[in-house]
Amino acid sequence: IRGISPALVQPLMRSVMEAPFPALGRTITVKNFLPGSGTEVIELRRPLDSRLEHVDFESLFSSLSIRHLSRVFASLLLERRVIFIADKLSTLSKCCHAMVALLYPFTWQHTYIPVLPPSMIDIVCSPTPFLIGLLTSSLPRLKELPVEEVLVVDLVNNRFLRQMEDEDSILPRKLQAALEHILEQRNELASDKEEKSSPLNEVVSEAFVRFFVEIMGHYSLFLTSSEREERTLQREAFRKSVSSKSLRRFLEVFMETQMFGGFIQERELRKQGVKGLFEVRAQEYLETLPSGEQSGVNKFLKGLGSKMKFLHKK
């Protein structure tokens, strides 16, 4: 429109601003006047789930093995300190961004600097959780600093330069194995011959959402409303309802994180309930459970391995 005449831009922007803000997946129509051809109607649709629009999981997989990726993921879930090292700015920013996207429906609540300028490297001495990206050129300086309890991930050579040594035992073992199994098959699932191809981003996102559904999918059963209509999570009952001992152990630690706190608080405060991909999958999951069973029996492989059927229930 600017190409036709800059003067036409303002009336168009005004009509966009005056239109009501659309709900997820909804469309608004905007009228726009063009000299010579009259009024055209433009439809603008807000995506149902726009989380992955600018996420590039491919760079993460080309930099890290599945095994290393799941250990970094586990460390972030416990809100530890993680440093990514790479020789390109683009690798750092893409990998940091993708890693944070994998935490959905949770949000990283702490320091997040995908590319840390060398002049600010002292930030890595902070005692609080962080996810920070550093260029390889900063490595000598990093080695001189008194950094404690940190996972340093070399994205160039797919290795850990420093670690806590317990990264492999954070996640419940069966769920971790199932998640890694699906990620190993991501390319076949993404180009499933029987049905329309599902882009890699969707396959990877669904795998991690499914992981969280197994851990947390039953949380809504333990959100109780008081007389004043305030919703509260019955935390102890929620944790104890899980039959797997390793899952209960993981929840005990995970429920202390700010990530978990933020997730639950958002849901306690909302009267209508949250409607996103996670909630949809959690509801589907609850409907498949035998009555009286509220715990994550490991249906992970069945749920995901059946050629990602739910990806195509658009």
Burial 189-208 (b: 16+ CB within 10 A, else e): bbebeeeeebebbbbbbbbb
Strand partners of residue 153: 84, 160
Q: ∠98-216-195 over CA atoms, to 5°?
A: 60
pLDDT tens for each residue of 144-157: 999 989 999 999 99
Q: ∠60-64-68 over CA atoms, to 5°?
A: 120
CA-CA distance, 41 to 32, in Å (whole number)? 6
Q: What is the pLDDT of residue 311?
A: 43
User: What is this structure's pTM?
Assistant: 0.79
pLDDT tens for each residue of 62-99: 999 999 999 999 999 999 999 999 999 999 999 999 99
CA-CA distance, 223 to 177, in Å (whole number)? 30
Q: What is the pLDDT of residue 310?
A: 42
Q: What is the pLDDT of residue 271?
A: 66
Q: What is the pLDDT of residue 69?
A: 97
DSSP string, 237-271: HHHHT---HHHHHHHHHHTTSHHHHHHHHHHHH-S
Q: What is the pLDDT of residue 273?
A: 64
pLDDT along the chain (314 residues), means of 10: 86 90 83 84 78 85 96 97 96 96 95 96 95 96 92 97 92 93 88 59 90 92 81 92 91 96 89 76 86 46 46 39
Q: Closest Cα partner for 130 from 146, 154, 153, 114?
A: 114
- Record the tokens describing residue 142, joined without a space: 């990093």
For residue 227, count other CB atoms closer than 10 A to its CB: 5
Whether 33 and 13 have beta carbons less than 8 Å apart is answered as no
Question: Dihedral (C-alpha) 277, 279, 280, 283: value to the nearest 10 degrees?
Answer: 160
- Record the tokens describing residue 156, joined without a space: 């160039």
Q: What is the pLDDT of residue 280?
A: 86
Q: What is the pLDDT of residue 32?
A: 85
CA-CA distance, 23 to 87, in Å (whole number)? 41
Q: What is the pLDDT of residue 312?
A: 39
